[in-house]
Amino acid sequence: MHSFIENYQQHMKLSIQNITKVYSNGVRALDDISLEMDSGMFGLLGPNGAGKSSLMRTIATLQQPDKGQISFNALDIFAHRHEFRKTLGFLPQEFGVYPKESAQSLLNYFAILKGVSSKRDRKLIVDQVLELTNLQAARKQRVSTFSGGMRQRFGIAQLLLNDPKLIIVDEPTAGLDPAERSRFLNVLRNISAENIVIFSTHLVEDVREMCKDMAIINKGRLISQDNPRVAVQSLKGKIWESSQSMDLSLIDTSQIKLSDRYDNNNQLIHRYYSEQSHEDLISVEPRLEDHYFLSLNRS
């Protein structure tokens, strides 16, 4: 039988086929979801409660689906759970830390738990993950004193200790300030070149900047799977901006309102419309946010 390690040396592919999960309270968290992913950053977008975390937990084999199959490099992850987990790195929304330990000593401890028995090998890999996550200068600092962004990067450092090929990060930038968010996204960008990184978020801008492929889910169902650039390009010439002060009787307000923003206290509204319906409507360049809100509106 081929191992996961032998298989991912040949190709990298995650296949999710018709996954359904209904919890004991009757909530249908996942409803017949099918997705295909290969190397690089894959963005999973959806509002809070859409089913993103349920899908992440299922892919991480932390819960069994009621129906469907997931394979990594053509091998069933539930039938080969132990082997699969050796290739998996998972950063959930909340993860525990040992507050009195330094980053370096805690990573050394995690490396022992992951089977790195040689002290020399542990030092080498701990130094590597500290460098990769920009934590080398803070290696002797207690993790309890870390900022939110540093803790998230520490979470990535610990999951990289076993050189995973499939990495799952669930809402990793929530609550981070712009500088910390940028540093964290750069870390993910660096590790995604040869790995599959599934990036679950409700922040559209993170996906726009990072991902070569994306899916939108809502109410447990897959709404779309697209390349972000292709998705935006498909809306060219169909996004129109109007001012809130404009006489709404002049335009067809039955068309889909996507989003709004403020410019000098003037509310500007984005709408989806196949052609200009009034001369005061301004054609604007589409954004990924427009595709996202249009997809949710149609779901």
Tokens of 173: 């930038």
Question: 7 pLDDT exceeds 60?
Answer: no
Across 183-207, average pLDDT: 87
Across 113-123, average pLDDT: 89
Tokens of 266: 């003037």
Q: Distance between CA atoms of 86 and 99, rounded to whole angstroms? A: 26
Residue 21, phi then psi, degrees to nearest 5: -140, 120
Mean pLDDT in the chain? 86
What pTM was estimated for this model as a whole?
A: 0.84
Across 219-235, average pLDDT: 94
* Helix, coil or strand: residue 158: helix
Residue 256, phi then psi, degrees to nearest 5: -75, 120
Place of tokens 């030092």: 123
Across 82-88, average pLDDT: 89
Which segments within the chain are labelled E, that is strand?
13-22, 28-38, 40-45, 67-72, 75-76, 88-91, 166-170, 196-201, 213-218, 221-226, 239-243, 256-263, 266-272, 282-283
The sign one gets for the Cα dihedral 206, 210, 216, 222 is: negative
Across 242-271, average pLDDT: 67
Per-residue confidence (pLDDT) for residue 255, from 0 to 100 = 66
Question: 206 pLDDT exceeds 50?
Answer: yes
pLDDT band at 2 (very low <50, low <70, confident <90, very high): very low
Range in 68-72, 231-235, 248-252 with the lowest mean pLDDT: 248-252
Domain positions in the chain: 4-227, 232-298
Per-residue confidence (pLDDT) for residue 129, from 0 to 100 = 93
State the Cα torsion 276-278-284-287 to the nearest 10°. Answer: -70
Range in 86-90, 239-243, 258-262 with the lowest mean pLDDT: 258-262
Question: 8 pLDDT exceeds 70?
Answer: no
- Is residue 188 within 8 A of residue 156, CB to CB? The reply is yes
15-69 pLDDT per residue, tens = 999 999 999 999 999 999 999 999 999 999 999 889 999 999 999 999 999 999 9
Question: 246 pLDDT exceeds 70?
Answer: no
Residue 38, phi then psi, degrees to nearest 5: -135, -170
The sign one gets for the Cα dihedral 268, 271, 274, 276 is: negative
Per-residue confidence (pLDDT) for residue 163, from 0 to 100 = 87
Tokens of 24: 């004991």
Higher pLDDT, 209 or 140: 140
Question: 126 pLDDT exceeds 90?
Answer: yes
- The CB-based long-range contact list for 102-105 (8 Å cut-off, 24+ gap) reads 102/139, 102/140, 102/141, 102/142, 102/143, 103/130, 103/135, 103/138, 103/139, 103/140, 103/141, 103/142, 103/143, 103/146, 103/154, 103/157, 104/130, 104/139, 104/140
Distances in Å between the alpha carbon of 218 and those of 50, 211, 224?
4, 19, 10
Per-residue confidence (pLDDT) for residue 247, from 0 to 100 = 47
148-188 pLDDT per residue, tens = 888 889 999 998 998 899 999 988 887 788 888 888 888 88
User: Residue 157: exposed, middle, or buried by beta-carbon count in 10 A (0-12, 13-18, 19+)?
Assistant: buried
Across 243-248, average pLDDT: 56
> Which CATH class for the 4-227 domain?
alpha beta
Per-residue confidence (pLDDT) for residue 16, from 0 to 100 = 97
Per-residue confidence (pLDDT) for residue 85, from 0 to 100 = 87
Question: 279 pLDDT exceeds 50?
Answer: yes
* Helix, coil or strand: residue 271: strand
As a whole-number percent, the residues of the chain with pLDDT over 90 amount to: 49
Question: 254 pLDDT exceeds 60?
Answer: no
Higher pLDDT, 189 or 68: 68
